[in-house]
Chains A and B, each alone.
Chain A
Amino acid sequence: MLSFTPYENPTYFGILAIALLPIVIGLLCKKRFHWYETIISIFFLVLTFGGPKLTQGYALIAYLIYEVVLVWLYTSYRKHKNQTSIFVGAVILAIIPLVIVKLTPAIQNGQQSLIGFLGISYLTFKAVQTIMESRDGVLKAFNPWFFLQFLVFFPTISSGPIDRYRRFKKDYDHVPDTDKYLQLLQKGVHNIFMGFVYKYMLAYLFGTLLLPKLQQQALSAHGLSWSLVGVMYVYSMYLFFDFAGYSLFAVGTSYFMGIETPINFNAPFKSHNIKEFWNRWHMTLSFWFRDYIYMRLVFFFMKHKVFKSPKTTANITYIINMTIMGFWHGVTWYYVTYGILHGIALVVNDWWLRYKKKHQKQIPHNKFTEIFAVFVTFNFVCFTFLLFSGFLNTMLLAK
Chain B
Amino acid sequence: MAKKLFQIFGPILFAAILLVVLLFSPFKLSHITAKTERKAATALSPNVLKGQVIKEAALNHQNFVPFFGSSEFSRFDFAHPSVLAAKYQRKYTPFLMGNPGTQSLTHYFQMQLITKQLENRKAVFVISPQWFVKKGTRKDAFSFYYSPLQATTWLLNRNGHTKQDRYAAQRLLEMPAGNANHTIKLALKRVANGQSITSHQRNTLTFKQRLLQHEDQLFSSLKMKNNQRKIAQAESELPQKYQLSHLDQLAIKQGKKQTSNNRFEIDNRFYQKRLQKKEKRFKNFEKNWSYVQSPEFSDFELVLNQFARTHTNVMFVIPPVNQKWSDYTGLSPKMMRQFDQKIRYQLQSQGFTNICDLSDKGNVPYFMQDTIHLGWRGWLAVDQKLDPFLTTKQSTPTYHIKNQFYTKSWQDQVHVNK
Contacts and interface: CB of A to CB of B under 8 A. Distances in A.
Nearest to A185: B8
A38 interface: no
Nearest to A14: B16
A287 to B, nearest CB: 30
Interface string B1-16: 1001101110010000
B150 to A, nearest CB: 21
Interface in A160-211: 178, 182, 185-186, 189
B9 A182 contact: no
Contacts of A28: 1, 5
A156 B244 CA distance: 72
Interface residues of B, number: 7
Nearest to A2: B182
A186 B1 CA distance: 13
Contacts of B4: 182
Contacts of A185: 5, 8
A370 B8 CA distance: 38
A189 B10 CA distance: 11
A139 B16 CA distance: 45
Contact of A178 (B1, B7, B8, B9): B1
B8 A189 contact: yes
A178 B3 CA distance: 13
Nearest to A220: B273
Nearest to B19: A10
The secondary-structure label for the interface of chain A is helix
A28 B7 CA distance: 15
Contacts of A182: 1, 4-5, 8
Contacts of B12: 189
The secondary-structure label for the interface of chain B is helix
Nearest to B4: A182
B339 to A, nearest CB: 32
Contacts of A178: 1
A258 to B, nearest CB: 15
A4 to B, nearest CB: 12
B46 to A, nearest CB: 13
A28 B9 CA distance: 14
A77 B9 CA distance: 49
Contacts of A186: 7-8
Contacts of B7: 186
A189 B4 CA distance: 13
For chain A, the bracket of interface size reads: under 10
Interface in B1-49: 1, 4-5, 7-9, 12
Contacts of B1: 28, 178, 182
B122 to A, nearest CB: 37
A350 to B, nearest CB: 45
B5 A189 contact: no
A189 B9 CA distance: 8
A219 to B, nearest CB: 15
A186 B7 CA distance: 9
A185 B8 CA distance: 8
A182 B6 CA distance: 11
A202 to B, nearest CB: 18
A11 to B, nearest CB: 10
Interface string A15-39: 0000000000000100000000000
A120 B4 CA distance: 39
Contacts of B9: 189
A71 B5 CA distance: 41
Nearest to A28: B1
Interface string B181-201: 000000000000000000000
Contacts of A189: 8-9, 12
A33 B38 CA distance: 62
Contacts of B8: 182, 185-186, 189
B22 to A, nearest CB: 14
B245 to A, nearest CB: 42
B138 to A, nearest CB: 17
Nearest to B273: A220
A186 B12 CA distance: 12
Interface in A268-324: none
Nearest to A10: B19
Nearest to B15: A193
A363 B5 CA distance: 54
A178 B8 CA distance: 14
A185 B4 CA distance: 10
Nearest to A182: B4
Nearest to A192: B12
A349 B53 CA distance: 57
Nearest to A189: B8
B132 to A, nearest CB: 28
B104 to A, nearest CB: 27
Nearest to A190: B8
A28 B12 CA distance: 19
B211 to A, nearest CB: 11
A70 to B, nearest CB: 39
A126 B61 CA distance: 65
A178 B2 CA distance: 11
A185 B12 CA distance: 13
A316 to B, nearest CB: 49
A182 B4 CA distance: 8
Interface in A83-99: none
A28 B1 CA distance: 9
Nearest to A1: B182
Nearest to B223: A209
B113 to A, nearest CB: 24
A212 B1 CA distance: 48
A186 B9 CA distance: 8
A182 B9 CA distance: 11
A185 B1 CA distance: 12
A182 B5 CA distance: 7
A340 B12 CA distance: 45
B215 to A, nearest CB: 13
A186 B6 CA distance: 11
Given A182-B4, A189-B8, 8 more contacts: A28-B5, A178-B1, A182-B1, A185-B5, A185-B8, A186-B7, A186-B8, A189-B9
14 contacts: A28-B1, A28-B5, A178-B1, A182-B1, A182-B4, A182-B5, A182-B8, A185-B5, A185-B8, A186-B7, A186-B8, A189-B8, A189-B9, A189-B12
Per CB-CB distance, the 5 closest pairs between chain A and chain B, nearest first, are: A186-B8, A182-B4, A185-B8, A189-B8, A178-B1
